[in-house]
Chain A
């Protein structure tokens, strides 16, 4: 019988696994772990089908699943250090997906990751490959420097919306336009998380943030920037996709896109960027589960999911 193994010390009690389980295997308990969080328990082990939905949505790599004598393992491309993200923040899911892709492609020993400034500023502590910490917004310039100097390395950046779409917009547009053979993971949570919830270039119209306390007024601040659509307008071939990680199905789709983005780099094809719509439960003032719902209801309509540009299109567009 499959079973769910919960690492209670890593757990932040976000409840996302409980909501994700289609068979009510998991439930929250009254038990408080060393960090002070209520942790879930396996309430109905007999119901478990081994679907791994709980593992897929867990932002803290706190769940493993045993099935037919095999136990899932955390990806080797993570250091194992507990993430510094808030409970229920989906940064952790995105970290895990990148690490899984690195493992599966066998590239950890030839990869250099670039951490940004923002919530994921400490990403260099979590990824087990070589890492560089960039100044705010310049991750793609740093990546350009590495990749042009050492084209044999696989280079990825991990950037938030303020980093990539505000202060680093010039670096973003020009790295994409030069067709740098790098992979960019763009985490869009429509807010500045680390600095305390200020307006981001991707904050939705009317959305409240600490520097637009009455809601984003588009007559004064313009509309939220759709990064992948903006980059699509560049003629240089690229792989551009938007995904989210709010639920197991989307987590799998996100991983597929991230994997593709790395593969295009490994093949030397093009610049690749995957925008991941991510939650900020604290910044949005929602529970982790409600934040996922808020994202689906509000962000997805404005930021449609899917592949926005694939390099194969370039041949079609070449004559235009």
Chain B
């Protein structure tokens, strides 16, 4: 298929259709309205169904029902809306249902703003709602990667029977780039889900549930989930860029900030400073081992995020004092320029190298 110039949000919607998804439930919120808009136009063309829910709370529970009935289903929202979906996500994770959720992050807390942010990292990677659970979290840094990851997200969700979140920011959602859809899955070719509530003809009753009144059973269920999250560790994805032969400063960044870092790398090179980039693509599971190995070749580490410092906690835990770890964040919808990253890298070098 030829490349097509598309907005990130639209590419995400089209990717879901290429993944064989024919169901969307969602509620409008900026800066991701193009996803529900796109789905509302596109799904009827392919025999699918779009429902504008009355709220994100309802949308997340519609997802629960549809996923429980064995359907590929997804929703999208932005930070405040994702907070409202946490009820459904906790139940979905508990009942082990495969769904895909797109969060095009905007600045918070509260109503915050509508400009790009990465301040939902904690919420996305540490559970988000009540109870011990995790989402599998994928963070694209280009429109093409967003489309690819959305298609993979559906397969990962089915494989692990777990919610998968695409964690993007307003820039990924709003910018246009050429994109190509590399595969197309027909809904009828998707494997059967024998556990789903599809009517009990010819089998025993299926129940989708998250209630375990017996504490021993609930404990066993929690450990089962925990073991599943541990199995997910093999799904780690990351990109190490300009790190061969070591570097002065290893910038750890994901999504939009990782793109900016690539420009900073070029700018620093002219100054004789070597910056490397470690870009986690899976934020959960976190590519801890690969980060540690990559950082061994770096003199210092700089974590940069569109937050006041969230992923940096995971990086510091991974590096465990073996390298100095600096942090640089912009928030509220403000985005750093590559020059700021170079300046921060230079400061780090001056202090620690």
Contact = CB atoms under 8 A, between A and B. Distances in A.
Nearest to B71: A149
Nearest to A138: B61
Contacts of B240: none
A146 B65 contact: yes
Contacts of B62: 141-142, 144-145, 148
Given A129-B200, A135-B87, A144-B25, 4 more contacts: A134-B91, A146-B65, A147-B65, A148-B66
B263 interface: no
A283 B205 CA distance: 33
A233 B26 CA distance: 26
A112 B88 CA distance: 19
A79 to B, nearest CB: 8
Interface string B183-215: 000000000000001111110011111110000
17 contacts: A112-B197, A132-B68, A132-B208, A133-B207, A133-B210, A134-B91, A135-B91, A141-B53, A142-B61, A145-B62, A145-B68, A145-B73, A149-B49, A149-B69, A150-B70, A153-B198, A170-B54
B64 interface: yes
Interface string A164-198: 00000011011000100000000000000000000
Nearest to B211: A133
B199 A111 contact: yes
Contact of B207 (A121, A130, A145, A147): A130
A109 B199 contact: yes
B207 to A, nearest CB: 5
Contact of A146 (B54, B197, B200, B206): B197
Given A130-B206, A131-B205, A170 B25 contact: no
B69 A153 contact: yes
3 nearest A-B residue pairs (beta carbon): A145-B65, A142-B65, A149-B71
Nearest to A152: B199
B66 A128 contact: no
A303 interface: no
A271 interface: no
A311 B247 CA distance: 72
A122 B214 CA distance: 13
Query: Considering residues B61, B67, B70, B87, which has the most beta carbons from chain A within 10 angstroms of its beta carbon?
Result: B61
B199 A145 contact: no
A79 B54 CA distance: 35
Contacts of B202: 109
Contacts of A226: none
Contact of A171 (B58, B64, B67, B207): B58
A124 B57 contact: no
B54 A150 contact: no
Contacts of B66: 145-146, 148-149
Contacts, number: 135
Interface of A is mostly: helix
Contacts of A153: 69, 198-199
Given A134-B64, A135-B61, A171-B58, A145 B201 contact: no
Interface string B202-242: 10011111110000000000000000000000000000000
Interface in B29-67: 49, 51, 53-55, 57-59, 61-67
Interface string A146-160: 111110010000000
A108 interface: yes
A143 B65 contact: yes
Interface in B72-122: 73, 87-88, 91, 95
Contact of A109 (B69, B91, B201, B208): B201
Interface string A233-254: 0000000000000000000000
A110 interface: yes
Contacts of B64: 132, 134-135, 138, 141-142, 145
B88 A148 contact: no
A108 B201 CA distance: 8
Contact of A129 (B58, B63, B71, B205): B205
Contacts of A124: 207, 209
B198 A150 contact: yes
- For B49, B199, B200, which residue has the most chain A Cβ atoms within 10 angstroms? B199
Contact of B201 (A110, A122, A133, A135): A110
Nearest to A139: B61
B23 interface: yes
B21 to A, nearest CB: 11
Quick one: which of B67, B73, B198 has the most chain A CB within 10 A?
B198
Nearest to A108: B200
